Amino acid sequence: MHYAQLCLRQCETHQVGDFDLAFAYEAVARAWACQGNLGEAEKFDRLAEAAGHQIAEAEDRELFFADLRKPPWYGLK
């Protein structure tokens, strides 16, 4: 969780979006799911998906969504 939140905080602080932001949201979602907090995990999963749709390059977008669908999701998906 620490590193996932640190990554997200860096993206927000430095206004980094696109691919990096989508993966940061995914990392936080997975960390929450791993801890059993499925409510927070779902919230960040939705943010990850929304950010994923904003990824400019089609190849990067496809890579992100392929990763987002992969387990483990610890009961979220």
Query: Residues 13-44: pLDDT tens digits?
Result: 999 999 999 999 999 999 999 999 999 999 99
Q: What is the pLDDT of residues 48-61, one digit of tens each?
A: 999 999 999 999 99
Residue 76, in any domain of the structure: no
pLDDT of residue 18: 96
The structure's pTM equals: 0.96
Residue 22, in any domain of the structure: yes
Q: How many CB atoms sit inside 10 A of residue 52's CB?
A: 23
Domain coverage including residue 49: 2-69
CA-nearest of 59, 55, 58, 56 to 25 is 55
pLDDT of residue 77: 87
pLDDT of residue 50: 98
Number of structural domains found in the chain: 1
Residue with tokens 């620490």: 2
Under the banding of pLDDT at 50, 70 and 90, the label for residue 74 is very high
Residue 77, in any domain of the structure: no
